[in-house]
Amino acid sequence: MPERSAATTALALACTANFLVLFDVSVMTVALPSIQADLGFTPTGLQWVVSAYALAFAGLLLLGGRLADLYGHRRVFVGGLAVFTAASLTGGLAGTPATLIAARAAQGTGAAVLAPLALTMVTTGFPEGPPRTRALTVWTAVSLVGGACGNMLGGVLTQYLSWRSVLLVNVPVGLPILLFARRVLARPAVPRRRVRLDLPGAVLATAASTLLTLGVAEADSHAWSAPGTALPLLGGVLALAAFVVVETRFAAAPLIPPRLFGLPGIGWGNLAMLLAGASQVPLWYFLTLTMQDVLHYSAAQTGLGFVPHAVVMLLVGLRLIPWLMRRVQARVLIAAGALIAALGFWWQSAVTPDSDYVTGILGPAVAISFGGGLVSTPLTTTVTSGVRSADAGAASGLMNTTRQFGGAFGLAMVVTLTASDTGGTPAALAAGYRAAFQAIAMILVLLAVLTPVLPTLRDSRYVPRS
């Protein structure tokens, strides 16, 4: 019983921390116009309010994942949450663009530690099979709702309080969690063996992730062949190649132990996770723009427009998925969910300036969120299956890196493909966003096509209980 209680407490902490991390990925989107007006950002500089967080987050995820394996959950959780909370306070009080951008980068650094550790706390606290599936169901549902709530609450807080409140709200949430974690998370019973952190690998992983993400982000406003896009991408590829050499030949404690790639879920599973991420981030971006630019919703109305996404994801994740995963193979659920979500995005692409809320937002939201809920937990279970406790942080860091880079890459690709279709009128904007939603649907169809190569979870621990 004490062990179960400790695992449940760790799950609650992991879910709360991951909610904060994903909440802050999307919460700033609706607040950007207010931030620009208040702090005097230039149009080109404003993107760094989002990009600073994303680059630090993506660039440091592999390092953050390995820290927990080497230095323990308690120390790393408390340290990561302290950085995240302090950066939120600094950003909420920022008086200049530079201060806000620096605070967002620091937030991303804390998030890069918390995100993989949150998943590690789940996978190491519950044994494989139904107990871990149930825990991952809760963790995934909260993660999905975090992104939706970022848009939802961001609009309401910005309109009725201030853009600063979307950052400051993290402080009264983060501080009690930090103090609670210090009290309840156990110290390692046996002192951990002193292992040197793989600093060359950490530098190369950070450089590769940051440069690749930066190059993809720059593709939003420049051609893929432009120096601002091509040079970071080339540098990222070279850093990634050097990282592989260092990890396989020279590192005593590599950030990604090569033995992980012998597991069936790691390679194909992370490719599937990349496609899943490539569909999620563009959803929040383009749906926010659709509601404001095409349907003329206010910031608060836009935020409330995301309520159905959060509700459906939570219901599917907590109620339906545990029952389905005892009866249906994970890869079947992934394929079905991807196709249902693709149909939802195709429906979403039909929105026009004359659409009402039910047909323009609510109907597509139910299909998109229902399909997304079917994908998330089975895919996470597949990627983490068979990973031993000593490598859980590394596997979690890799999965989060894949998902984050997939989101940045998917957004840049969709923006690049649809940029020429957008114009100044609501009808012209709707046409551009239509192409964007259809492109996202094609990404999900590709995910469904990929599922036959994913491993089947035939272990007896996944067999339905009689």
| Domain positions in the chain | 2-185+253-453, 199-252
Confidence class of residue 462 from pLDDT cuts 50, 70 and 90? very low
Q: How far is CA 109 from the centre of its chain?
A: 14
What is the C-alpha to C-alpha distance for residues 330 and 396, in angstroms, rounded to an integer?
19
- Reply yes or no on whether the pLDDT at 129 is more than 70: no
Choose among 231, 194, 201: nearest CA to 215.
Answer: 231
Whether residue 3 has pLDDT greater than 60: no
Q: Is the pLDDT of residue 107 over 60?
A: yes
pLDDT confidence of 190, banded at 50, 70, 90?
very low
Query: Could you give the percent of the chain with pLDDT greater than 90?
Result: 12
Instruction: Report the candidate in 193, 208, 217 with the shortest Cα–Cα distance to residue 53.
Output: 217
Q: What is the pLDDT of residues 369-398, one digit of tens each?
A: 899 888 888 888 888 777 776 667 677 777
Amino acid identity of residue 189, one-letter, is: A
pLDDT of amino acid 44: 59
Question: Are 87 and 106 a contacting pair, CB within 8 Å?
Answer: yes
pLDDT at 106 over 80: yes
State which of 160-174, 304-318, 446-460 shows the largest mean pLDDT: 160-174
Q: Which of 120-134, 262-276, 282-296, 365-379 has the lowest mean pLDDT?
A: 120-134
Structure tokens given for 386 = 């068979």
243-270 pLDDT, tens digit per residue, is: 888 878 877 777 777 777 777 777 788 8
pLDDT single digits (tens) 192-216: 555 567 778 878 887 887 788 777 7
Burial 377-395 (b: 16+ CB within 10 A, else e): bbbbbbbbbbbeeebbbbb
More confident residue, 399 or 152: 399
Pull the structure tokens for residue 32.
Answer: 């950007």
Tell me how far apart the alpha carbons of residues 58 and 204 are, in angstroms, rounded to a whole number.
13
Give the residue-averaged pLDDT of 41-66: 75
User: Which residue bears the tokens 């680059």?
Assistant: 55
CB contact set of 18 (below 8 Å; sequence gap of 6+): 114, 115, 118, 119, 139, 142, 143, 146
Q: Which residues of 56-74 are buried (b: 16+ CB within 10 A; e: fewer)?
A: bbbbbbbbbbbbbbbbbbb
pLDDT for 220? 63
**Class of residue 337 by CB neighbours under 10 A (exposed 0-12, middle 13-18, buried 19+):** buried
Q: Which helix (H) or strand (E) holds 390?
A: none
Q: Are 11 and 125 in contact (CB under 8 A)?
A: yes
Between the alpha carbon of residue 362 and those of residues 307, 341, 419, the distances in Å are 9, 14, 26
Angstrom distance (rounded) from CA 283 to CA 86:
29
| 3-state DSSP assignment of residue 37 | helix
pLDDT value at 17 more than 70: yes
Please, what is the average pLDDT of the chain?
Answer: 79
Q: How many CB atoms lie within 10 A of CB 4?
A: 11
DSSP 424: S
Rounded Cα distance, 9 and 198, in Å? 31
* Least confident span in 119-128, 172-181, 448-457: 119-128
Spatial CB neighbours of 193, under 8 Å, sequence gap ≥ 6: none
In this structure, what DSSP letter does residue 359 have? I
Q: Please provide the distance, in angstroms rounded to a whole number, between the alpha carbons at the two ends of the chain.
A: 24
Q: Is the pLDDT of residue 2 over 70?
A: no
Q: What CATH number does domain 2-185+253-453 carry, 3.40.50.2300, 3.30.750.24, 3.30.360.10, 1.20.1250.20?
A: 1.20.1250.20
pLDDT of residue 348: 92
Q: Of 163-167, 273-277, 344-348, 451-455, give the range with the top mean pLDDT.
A: 344-348
Q: Given this model, what pLDDT does residue 176 score?
A: 87
Rounded-to-integer distance, Cα 52 and Cα 104, Å: 6
- Tracing tokens 């050097």 back to the chain, one arrives at 242
180 has pLDDT over 80: yes
What pLDDT is recorded for position 457?
62
- Report residue 221's pLDDT band, with 50, 70 and 90 as the boundaries: low
Supply the pLDDT for residue 366. 92
Confidence of residue 461 (pLDDT cuts 50, 70, 90): very low
Lowest mean pLDDT among 72-86, 222-236, 383-397: 383-397
**pLDDT reported for residue 420:** 56
Give the closest residue to 198 by CA, choosing from 283, 258, 138, 137. Answer: 258
Banded model confidence at residue 448, pLDDT cuts 50, 70, 90: very high
Q: Which of 252, 256, 253 is nearest to 243 (CA)?
A: 256
**pLDDT tens digit string along 288-343?**
778 888 888 887 787 788 888 878 887 887 778 878 877 888 888 999 999 999 99
Alpha helices in 72-169 (DSSP H): 73-92, 97-125, 130-160, 165-168
Q: How confident is the model at residue 344 (pLDDT cuts 50, 70, 90)?
A: very high
pLDDT of residue 204: 86
Sign of CA dihedral 394, 400, 401, 406: positive
Q: Are 10 and 185 in contact (CB under 8 A)?
A: yes
Note the pLDDT of residue 24: 76
